[in-house]
Chains A and B, each alone.
Chain A
Amino acid sequence: MRQQMPKQDPQIRRSNFEEVAQGFTAELAQAEAKRCLNCKKPLCVEGCPVEVEIPRFITLLVTGKTDEALAKIKEKNSLPAICGRVCPQENQCEKNCVLGRKGEPVAIGSLERYCADWGRAHQAAEPVCTPTAAMRGKVAVVGSGPAGLTAAADLALMGYEVTLFESLHATGGVLRYGIPEFRLPKAIVDYEVGNLEKLGVTIQTNVLIGKTLTIDELFAIGYQAVFIGTGAGLPYFLGISGENLNGVYSANEFLTRVNLMKAYRFPEFDTPIRIGQRVAVVGAGNVAMDSARTALRLGAKEVSIVYRRSREEMPARLEEIENAEEEGVIFRLLTNPVKLLGDENGNVTTMVCQKMALGEPDASGRRKPVPIPGSEEALSVDTVVVAIGQGPNPILLQGTTGLTLNKRGYIEVDPETLMTSIPGVFAGGDIVTGAATVIAAMGAGKRAARAIDRYLSEQK
């Protein structure tokens, strides 16, 4: 039987920021690892965007060689403690697991996390890249989110001199500002980024490429290739009246205040956040779940998810939806906000919603929500978080001449080489595909590192 990872009790965890899922014990990890059939043709590996040799690391774990198991994972994945926590394994490796056909798949993500956490606790030796007199070349990586971190690590391991540029004061991108502490402790992001520095990667925070330095200047100061992994960082709003009232946050702002700026520890940290008694989070993706669960922990009395489609269409991971439900988040489904009303101080007080019914499938293949006439209702709120996705941030794109974008405003790349319209400039992750997952971005970073290596090898 598949082992369950111990979790904090919902009634306790809903008021703290400690990690919810507490990881396998050695015994649980052993029991779970032994379930792996060690298939000759491992389908799980095909489901992994970064190609981790899953049965091999699990076999090493079974034989008690946790250090070697971790090393095996790290051959392909430089951020295992992060992936073990935030990857949607149910749609990837675990979805392909043969055991899942008749029963439950091996808990691959939990085992990956176990190995990574073991390494962190035991300070497992990291692969060290020793810079030789002749490094293979200089590469600039723009953006320190999952795509950039992976590209930087892989390039460093190949022997390149890598500088990672980040516009914020801290690295990690969405891992830092977006995903909350209770799902991904920031100490883990620090640790994984620290490993990158041990590989010889130079990190420069507070540099906004496109403003502080341009891509042209990066080439001028000696970089031979550039990887753009800036993500999709421009929050979408609903476009309804009252959206600029006080108390209406984009999920980006709400989560950035709490995660990056640590507003949940105000006044020890200087950045404030205001949380009301009644919070409505619009949207039903992972970011919406993170926002709703954060609002609970900040002390809101009632937190609801407001979503215009039904439960089946919710894009969040099932695990996150369940976590939110257990903690007491209310789901107002087939409900669409149409306007926000405020008081004389400009603070939001009411969300007027319309009930929806599902009609014919739309372009996304999901059944299109259609308003039910006369179904408007008023929801009393004092905080609204808009978590309906994000678009491409235009700063680097506007500040770079010759970069071809697609119709949606994302960077166009050659699907084979991941090279953009500018020779030597590569891109991957959300800035190419639109908002997706951490692991998809990491996969893109990995492929880009290989493509950059190929490109620079051919240049010589």
Chain B
Amino acid sequence: MKILDKKQLAPEIVKFLVEAPLIAKKAQPGHFIILRHKENGERIPLTIADFDREKGTITLVCQGIGKSTREINQMEKGDSFLDLLGPLGKAYPVQKLGTVVCVAGGLGVAPLYPKAKALHEAGNRIIGLVGAQRKEMLIMTEEMAAVCDELQFSTDDGSYGHHGLITEPLRAVLAREQVDEVVAVGPVPMMAAAVQVATAFKVPVVVSLNALMIDGTGMCGGCRVTVGGVTKFCCVDGPTFDGAAVDFHEILMRQRYYRDQETEALHRCKLEEAGK
């Protein structure tokens, strides 16, 4: 659970290389971990962005949004996470399909990359589409470049690549050629939009959901999502699901439920920082 290396990828986004031999040995694309960084901390689920079985390491990418994630991002090389559990979730079934479009928005590159890498290794042609708010928020571009046969970028402000939403290049690619699967990971509205585009072109689309959860082992049911009209637990049935069947509206509302408390916690956290 020791942090072997730390790298700032973008403002508020940090990559950790963590010693976790048992988890690394079992990790597959789609898996995640739950960590607690300190005694009274939350249990935070983070995707396994990469793993090295031989070195016994996993890579985690954390965006400092709330109090816990901001505190995690202040941890340094040599520090240890208090608790680290994994690998959790169902692995994404990697198959040779032909051409796969891998679409990421913001931090979504972290869960997307291991899938793209495995799909590439399985002999698929990978078209990568990576979007962010602005140029400096684009992350893991080199890693993606290494596993994509074609890679396009977009930024909301036009500071790099296509000026606009990443779904626009997605539409262009799907109009241009035959695609066998779309894998889309990112903020909920971005995934919902990507699913709409892919479905319009009758291309199967897979998404990776990040519901709120506590234990990550099917015990609390806090991560309920509706998929195909049926309630699923994101932690044990997912986090990868058939995007066309997912009720994104419900997920969006569930994610907002603790917003007031999160704001309060973050506010106190900032006051403490200011007081130091």
**CB neighbours of A161 from chain B (8 A):** none
Interchain CA distance A194-B103 in the complex, whole Å: 50
- Please state if A249 and B257 are interface contacts (CB–CB under 8 Å): no
Interchain CA distance A78-B257 in the complex, whole Å: 42
**CB neighbours of A219 from chain B (8 A):** none
- Please state if B253 and A272 are interface contacts (CB–CB under 8 Å): no
- Please state if B85 and A235 are interface contacts (CB–CB under 8 Å): no
**CB neighbours of A250 from chain B (8 A):** 220-222
A208 interface residue, CB < 8 Å from B?
yes
**CB neighbours of A168 from chain B (8 A):** 85, 215
Interface residues of B in 230-267 (CB under 8 A from A): 231, 236, 250, 253-254, 256-258, 261-262, 264-265
Q: Out of B36, B253, B264, B265, name the residue touching A169 (CB < 8 Å).
A: B36
Q: Min CB distance, A36 to chain B, in Å?
A: 41
**CB neighbours of A237 from chain B (8 A):** 221, 224, 231
Interchain CA distance A269-B39 in the complex, whole Å: 9
Q: Which of chain A's residues has its CB closest to B71's CB?
A: A270
- Please state if B218 and A233 are interface contacts (CB–CB under 8 Å): yes
Q: Min CB distance, A211 to chain B, in Å?
A: 6
**CB neighbours of A257 from chain B (8 A):** 214, 220
Q: Out of A208, A262, A268, A272, name the residue touching B88 (CB < 8 Å).
A: A208
Interchain CA distance A234-B225 in the complex, whole Å: 15
Q: Min CB distance, B239 to chain A, in Å?
A: 14
B202 interface residue, CB < 8 Å from A?
no
**CB neighbours of A249 from chain B (8 A):** 222
**CB neighbours of A235 from chain B (8 A):** 219-221
Q: Give the contact stretch, choosing among A109-117, A133-141, A240-248, A421-429.
A: A240-248
Q: Out of A212, A243, A252, A271, name the residue touching B85 (CB < 8 Å).
A: A212
Interchain CA distance A267-B264 in the complex, whole Å: 8
Interchain CA distance A347-B253 in the complex, whole Å: 8
A345 interface residue, CB < 8 Å from B?
yes
- Please state if A169 and B43 are interface contacts (CB–CB under 8 Å): yes
**CB neighbours of A234 from chain B (8 A):** 218-219
Q: Which of chain B's residues has its CB closest to A347's CB?
A: B257
Q: Out of B85, B218, B219, B253, name the residue touching A345 (CB < 8 Å).
A: B253
Q: Min CB distance, A143 to chain B, in Å?
A: 11
Q: Min CB distance, B69 to chain A, in Å?
A: 10
Q: Which of chain B's residues has its CB closest to A390's CB?
A: B219
Interchain CA distance A256-B216 in the complex, whole Å: 12
**CB neighbours of A213 from chain B (8 A):** 22
Contact with B along A244-286 (1 / 0, CB 8 A): 1011011011001100111001111111101000000000000
Interchain CA distance A227-B224 in the complex, whole Å: 31
- Please state if B40 and A233 are interface contacts (CB–CB under 8 Å): no
Contact with B along A153-172 (1 / 0, CB 8 A): 00000000000000111000
B84 interface residue, CB < 8 Å from A?
yes
B41 interface residue, CB < 8 Å from A?
yes
A372 interface residue, CB < 8 Å from B?
no
Q: Min CB distance, B262 to chain A, in Å?
A: 7
**CB neighbours of B82 from chain A (8 A):** 169
Q: Which of chain B's residues has its CB closest to A213's CB?
A: B22
- Please state if B87 and A266 are interface contacts (CB–CB under 8 Å): no
Q: A233-B219, A270-B68 are in contact. Are A212 and B86 (CB under 8 A)?
A: yes
B26 interface residue, CB < 8 Å from A?
yes
Interface residues of B in 90-133 (CB under 8 A from A): none
Q: Min CB distance, A429 to chain B, in Å?
A: 15
Interchain CA distance A253-B220 in the complex, whole Å: 4
B209 interface residue, CB < 8 Å from A?
no
- Please state if A393 and B218 are interface contacts (CB–CB under 8 Å): yes
Interchain CA distance A205-B218 in the complex, whole Å: 17
Interchain CA distance A395-B217 in the complex, whole Å: 7
**CB neighbours of A274 from chain B (8 A):** 257-258, 261
Q: Min CB distance, A243 to chain B, in Å?
A: 7
Q: A206-B85, A252-B221, A253-B214 are in contact. Are A267 and B258 (CB under 8 A)?
A: no
- Please state if A246 and B26 are interface contacts (CB–CB under 8 Å): no
**CB neighbours of A260 from chain B (8 A):** 214
A10 interface residue, CB < 8 Å from B?
no
| 5 new A-B contacts at CB < 8 Å, known A270-B265, A274-B261, A393-B217 | A169-B82, A212-B22, A212-B23, A257-B214, A274-B257
User: Lowest 8 CB-CB distances: which A-B pairs, in order?
Assistant: A346-B253, A272-B261, A253-B220, A169-B83, A250-B221, A246-B257, A269-B40, A233-B219
A-B contact pairs, 18 of them (CB 8 A): A169-B82, A206-B83, A206-B84, A212-B85, A235-B219, A244-B226, A246-B257, A250-B220, A252-B220, A256-B220, A257-B220, A260-B214, A261-B214, A269-B40, A270-B42, A271-B42, A394-B236, A395-B218
